Amino acid sequence: MECSYFGKCGSCTLYTMDYNAQCAHKQEVMRTLFAPLHVKEFDFFASPSEHYRGRSEFRIWKEGDTISYAMGAVDKKGAVCIDVCPKVEMKIYTLMPKLLKQIESSPLLREKLFAIEFLASSEHLLVTLIYHKPLHVEWDNEAKMLEQMFGIFVIGRSRGIKRVLTQDFVEDRFDIASKTYRYHIIEGGFSQPNRLMNQKMISWVLSHLENCEDLLELYCGYGNFTIPMAENFKKVLATEISKTSIASALQNCKLNDTHNITFLRMSAEELTSALKKEREYNRLKGINLDDYTFSHVFVDPPRSGMDEASLAFISQFENIIYISCNPETLKRDLEMLTCNYTIEHFALFDQFPNTEHLESGVILKRI
């Protein structure tokens, strides 16, 4: 990837290496990190080195009536003004300068604009304009012209306000294991930024499923992994604390004609307590947890990893599938899990080229 802001923008830290060197560097770092756990080899999935991000956010920098996109400086002092970013998907990359020029020409759209978020899918492009001011009908009329001019969806946000002009979601389509999956992704909810690598992650998990009965999933989001995995299991129980994500997950079941998943708005800690019969929850009314025979548990926790109680809880299952966005907390958690499990498969997914970040997938089997 080439970028005129290398060395100034703090986003890309491995820009001095070509992409092959970056991949080799990341694999060596992971071999060293996980050597104490006797992990020597990984499946490695490379990404396109540019135009890979389908979700991105940029601050807005103002000088008089001129506005620019801005990123944090490499020295962490101030911001670097940019015109475009070669990391984002091509439809975002192409739109960025045109959109900014049009917003700049409108005092109403420009005034107190704080940030712009982009959410791209195979079907749509949604843009969220974030302000430090109230938004009213007058803003709607101006923003509607952006939708018509660029063929996009536009949302306005400010403190306590969300103005939706047409729709607040995108639909995506993935072809995985000879089947097309459809996803309804709501603005503001979590989604995987690198859509191509996301498909590779799902495909990798599916390729290593065997001896399946029922599945328990913690941190299920909008059903990104849940829905493709459900075809391999009799029943699925999936939990998530975000109302927005649960709403998307239920919609995605309808889109994919999937009927064997039960979604619960519960934290991993609450479900752990319920399954141990330590406490009863109204949210479990009508659900008999004893009806499930869980052969697998799937976890995709936040960067902080899993707490000790949840790790102890998932250690009762025969098979664990662990997706991690933080190698350090993954190592910490595996140090506990490998007391009773063997690592059957380990994969690295380069979600964010030109950075140190790396996504991991581990499949463990109880000894």
Q: Which residues are catalytic?
A: 325, 359
Amino acid identity for residue 146 in this structure? L
Residues forming beta bridges with residue 156, ordered by sequence position: 129, 163
User: What are the Cα distances from residue 151, in Å, to 125, 148, 177, 272?
Assistant: 8, 5, 32, 46
Quick one: which H or E segment has residue 174?
strand 169-176
Q: How many alpha carbons lie under 13 Å from residue 192 in its C-beta half-sphere?
A: 28
User: What are the Cα distances from residue 343, in Å, to 90, 175, 292?
Assistant: 38, 28, 25
Helix axes 327-337, 19-34, angle to 10 degrees: 30
Q: How many alpha carbons lie under 13 Å from residue 86 in its C-beta half-sphere?
A: 14
Q: Which of 102, 105, 104, 157 is nearest to 126 (CA)?
A: 157
Buried-state track 18-50, b at ≥16 Cβ within 10 A, e below 16: ebeebbeebbeebeeebeeeebeebebbbbebb
Cα–Cα distance, 339 to 329 (Å, whole number): 16
Chain position carrying tokens 């003004």: 81
Quick one: which H or E segment has residue 255?
helix 243-255
